[in-house]
Structure 1
Amino acid sequence: MTETFSTTILPQLASGAAHTQALGFQFDGLHGGEPRIHVPWREDLVGDPDTGVLASGLVTTMLDHVGGLAVWAVMDEFQPIATLDLRIDYMRAARPREDLKAQGLCYRLTPTIAFVRAWAFETDPADPVAAAQAAYVLNKPRTRSETKA
């Protein structure tokens, strides 16, 4: 992976969209070549006010987003992608009032589909809140000759 892509482009992709900014996504670098993001705990992101546990929708969004980052990291370039399939297994509730991290691995890349595993956790990736299995379709822009039919 080029230095420019990993230090400039990936951080922008991690937090540059309106929804990622609103949710407070922050790029936490590459860990063993795998992108990691984190979200600081905030009261407005809590799903259960009685416990202070972050909302499960936030976990889903993080896992989907870090999955996309994992695809771009393997491709070493930005190109449009779309979530084709996303399965999430929730293993436990997030710990109250703790920041949440997510990390992803693109383990297979074909010309049209990328396959990803991702997990959300507080401090230890071996103790996940949730794990995801996902597939992303690669929407490579067509050339001018391909658009003429």
Structure 2
Amino acid sequence: MKLNPEFFPLTQLATRFVDQLTQCRRLGLKVLEASEHHVLIELPYSTELIGYPDTGVIHGGVVTTLMDTACGSAVVCAIFEKFKSLEISPTLDLRVDYMKPAIPNKPVYGFAECYRMTSSVAFTRAIAYQDSIDDPIAHAVGSFMRISPEMVGEEFRQALMGNETKNKGDSA
């Protein structure tokens, strides 16, 4: 199914993609912007995400989820923009290098880009940060499998395109 991105902003597509994932809804992830080149997602601070009670620092696994989601969203947007179609692109590999802990009581941002695509794999890089992208919490690189548009279920396609009947279950 070929789609016309001119009538469908990529921020809206990335938001709907993230909203389909239970763990992302639970974490409160919010897409701030998306283009064919990047995605920016906010992870709000919550005491439920603390991994180190003595310090209030959020768990590293939460940062990894933010990075994986930002990278996956960047792949969805890049494919949609380039091929005018939706593809399922599960994570093949994700490497996260932590630079420092996140400061408690502040949101964390995940900025990701899909910088290369082959016929079967999409390659991404990302940065998690708080106050400045130049002062990262973590860096990530990932690869995502490209699976043909025919493998996208109709319910998931409709949810991403905004034609869902308010079903918020995981359908990917």
Match 1:139 to one of 138, 144, 147: 147
Taking a change above 3 Å as real, the CA distance of residues 106 and 33 of structure 1, as seen in their structure-2 partners, is closer
Q: Is the 8 A contact 2:36 2:74 kept in 1?
A: no
Measured on the aligned residues, the alpha-carbon RMSD in Å equals: 1.9
Which residue is 1:16 aligned to?
Answer: 20
Asked whether 1:36 is paired with 2:40, we answer yes
Deviations along 1:67-92, one digit per CA (max 9) or x if unpaired, are 01111111124211111111110001
Separation in 2, partners of 1:89, 1:82:
20
Checking the alignment, whether the CA contact within 8 Å between 1:15 and 1:27 is kept in structure 2 is: no
How do 1:2-13 residues align onto structure 2 when only pairs under 5 Å count?
A: 2-13=6-17
What residue is the counterpart of 1:146 in the other structure?
none
| Number of aligned residues | 143
Structure 1, unpaired ranges of 5+ = 144-149
Amino acid at match of 1:26: K
Q: Does 1:53 align with 2:57?
A: yes
Contact in 1 for aligned 2:10/2:36 (Cα 8 Å): no
Where in structure 2 are the equivalents of 1:1-149 lying within 5 Å?
2-30=6-34, 33-76=37-80, 77-141=85-149
Q: 1:114 to 1:32 in 2, by over 3 A?
A: closer
Q: Deviations over 1:103-135 (max 9, x none)?
A: 101110111000000111112111110000100
Q: Percent identity?
A: 31
Q: Structure 2: how far apart are the matches of 1:90 and 1:125?
A: 14
Alignment deviations for residues 4-34 of structure 1 (CA, whole Å, 9 cap, x no partner): 1414221111233211111111111137941
Q: TM-score, normalised by structure 2?
A: 0.77
Aligned residue for 1:147? none
Per the alignment, in what secondary structure is the counterpart of residue 129 of structure 1? strand
Q: How high is the TM-score relative to the length of structure 1? A: 0.88
CA drift of 1:142 comes to 5.4
* Higher strand proportion: 1
Structure 2 residue ranges without an equivalent (≥5): 152-172
1:35 alignment partner AA:
V
SS at match of 1:101: strand
Q: How far is 1:3 from its partner?
A: 4.9
